[in-house]
A and B are shown apart, each in its own frame.
Chain A
Amino acid sequence: MFTRIVWLVLRKDLMVEIRSLEIAYTTIFFAVSCVLVFAFALVQEGRAPTDGAAGILWIAIAFSGTLALGRTFERERQAETLKALLLAPAARPAIYVGKLLGIIGLMAVTEIVLVPLVSLFFQAPFFTRPLWLAAVLLSGTIGFAAVGTLFAAMLVRARTRDVLLPVLLYPITVPVIIAGVRATAALLQPDLDAGIIQFWVALLVCFDVVFVTLALWTFEPVMTD
């Protein structure tokens, strides 16, 4: 039952997005603009600042992810369809997981565009260790989206939701961003220290477990009244 509801919500979100492509286009456009602004500002005479790529990649992921979170729930607010989801006898944590997977998918698509772009502009050899890179990006994205999905759902009825979402989201996801930046920076070193990357990835997985568990636990009471 739980997985069926997760699948229903995820499939519905994907169908709506494939029909409109509204969030994918705006998120990718925003992420690309963000990288371009950094490239114009920081790349001087074709030389990128050393160790800047990791930070810029994660800033672009965090900013575009916030935009995707806001737009995803704005869509549910416009026709009050979130209320319809909550009125169903379905387990509310399953609804949360369905929404979370949809946002992770959207952020993953954005990252597929972002990584080569940052690699190109900032001469960062991201693709020398693709499996490690995928592990860092996936674990970081899950942690960021887990907190963001909960907050975006909580704020959907607040008038100042667009302002409140980043104000609440960024302080809580600072550990995810730091771990993501550190792990990505370690990946870009000429001599790979697998121990360091393992440490940061393990930390990110711990954050994921804690944040997802907390969100599953709190989603039902938070959305009830």
Chain B
Amino acid sequence: MNPAPSDFEDLRVEDVSRHFGRRRAVSHVTFHAPRGSIVGLLGPNGAGKSTILSMLATLLRPSTGRILYGQCDSVVHGAALRGSIGVLGHDLFLYPELTARENLEFFAGLYALKQPGASADAALERAGLAHRAADPVSSFSRGMRQRVALERALIHDPRLLLLDEPFTGLDESSAARLLARLDSLRKQGTIVVLATHDLDLAEGLFDRAIFLRDGRMASAADRPASLRAMYREVMTHAHAAAAQGTEG
């Protein structure tokens, strides 16, 4: 008997490519993320990080290759898998006219939680924003919105959490709070895939780092010791190889 799509133990990206017309956004990317791991997608703009996250979120289908959530293929089980995936995009997916509680209650309802109101209240407590529950999100600072958005992405207790540039616009304390939350998610067994430019904040966070350039995997490393140095080295090599290829 096949396990329920929501019960997956790991995430496998197998030789995945994605084309938009003739443009190749992602090319032959492969990686594996077991439960309780944080995988970093690192690379310059246009490296294919957001496209990979969209495919992992089942919003885009791979042109070739496959993504497996445990035994389940994203193309076959896409709709059933969505209940186990949480996404925090660069845009926060919140309605600014609604209050923080109304936003969280709405999404709890969409994810068919039994008590959306209670789930929203618990999420606000975790975000440290229970005292601002009745305030519209438009009156929040970027850091506060980010905290509400993270709890929105986690309200249904997803097995896989996808984060696109989650440190953007956060001050030091908000970033530290986010890092602590990610660490607690890792301990709970959540698989986290995070795309970021902020190498300093991500230092020591990743169990595996995937370096991307022009849609290709330039390199990968387990628990990289010095992320910034490694990033510089990998990108220099990739740039040199690309220049050599162009000349050749």
A and B associate:
yes
- By a beta-carbon cutoff of 8 Å, the part of chain A in contact with chain B is 1, 4-5, 8, 12, 15-16, 19-20, 79-81, 83-90, 224-225
Interface residues of B in 55-102 (CB under 8 A from A): 57-61, 78-80, 82-83, 85, 87, 89, 91-98, 102
Let me know if B8 is at the binding interface, CB within 8 A: no
Q: How far is the CA of A67 from the CA of B203 in the complex (A)?
A: 48
Asked if B107 and A89 sit within 8 Å, CB to CB, the answer is: no
Q: How far is the CA of A8 from the CA of B61 in the complex (A)?
A: 28
Asked if A86 and B95 sit within 8 Å, CB to CB, the answer is: no
Asked if A16 and B97 sit within 8 Å, CB to CB, the answer is: yes
A12 to chain B: closest residue by CB: B106
- By a beta-carbon cutoff of 8 Å, the part of chain B in contact with chain A is 57-61, 78-80, 82-83, 85, 87, 89, 91-98, 102, 106-107, 109-112, 136, 152
Q: How far is the CA of A8 from the CA of B102 in the complex (A)?
A: 11
> A120: shortest Cβ distance to chain B, in Å?
34
- Of the A-B pairs whose beta carbons lie under 8 Å apart in the complex, a sample of 14, sorted by A's number, is A1-B112, A4-B109, A4-B112, A12-B102, A12-B106, A15-B98, A79-B91, A79-B93, A81-B93, A83-B93, A84-B152, A87-B93, A88-B110, A224-B61
Q: Which residues of A contact B59 (CB under 8 A)?
A: 83, 86-87, 224
Asked if B112 and A89 sit within 8 Å, CB to CB, the answer is: yes
Can you add 15 more A-B contacts, CB < 8 Å, to A5-B110, A80-B93? Answer: A8-B106, A15-B102, A16-B95, A79-B92, A79-B93, A79-B96, A80-B91, A81-B94, A83-B59, A84-B93, A87-B57, A87-B87, A88-B107, A88-B111, A89-B80
B94 to chain A: closest residue by CB: A79
Most B-side CB within 10 Å, residue of A4, A83, A86, A225? A83
Contact of A88 among B61, B80, B82, B102 (CB under 8 A): B82
Q: Which residues of A contact B83 (CB under 8 A)?
A: 89
Contact of B136 among A1, A19, A79, A86 (CB under 8 A): A19
Q: Which residues of B contact A1 (CB under 8 A)?
A: 112
Q: How far is the CA of A83 from the CA of B50 in the complex (A)?
A: 13
Asked if B93 and A225 sit within 8 Å, CB to CB, the answer is: no
Q: How far is the CA of A4 from the CA of B114 in the complex (A)?
A: 12
B89 to chain A: closest residue by CB: A80
Q: Which residues of A contact B57 (CB under 8 A)?
A: 87
Contact of A8 among B85, B94, B97, B110 (CB under 8 A): B110
Q: How far is the CA of A225 from the CA of B60 in the complex (A)?
A: 5
Q: How far is the CA of A86 from the CA of B61 in the complex (A)?
A: 14
Asked if B110 and A90 sit within 8 Å, CB to CB, the answer is: yes
Q: How far is the CA of A18 from the CA of B39 in the complex (A)?
A: 42
Q: Which residues of B contact A90 (CB under 8 A)?
A: 110, 112
> A76: shortest Cβ distance to chain B, in Å?
9
> A213: shortest Cβ distance to chain B, in Å?
21
Q: How far is the CA of A28 from the CA of B130 in the complex (A)?
A: 38
Asked if B79 and A89 sit within 8 Å, CB to CB, the answer is: yes
Q: Which residues of B contact A224 (CB under 8 A)?
A: 59, 61, 78
Q: Which residues of A contact B110 (CB under 8 A)?
A: 5, 8, 85, 88-90
List the 10 closest pairs (A to B, CB-CB), nearest first. Answer: A84-B93, A89-B83, A80-B91, A88-B110, A19-B97, A89-B82, A16-B97, A8-B109, A12-B106, A90-B110
Q: Which residues of B contact A225 (CB under 8 A)?
A: 60-61
Most B-side CB within 10 Å, residue of A1, A83, A89, A224? A89
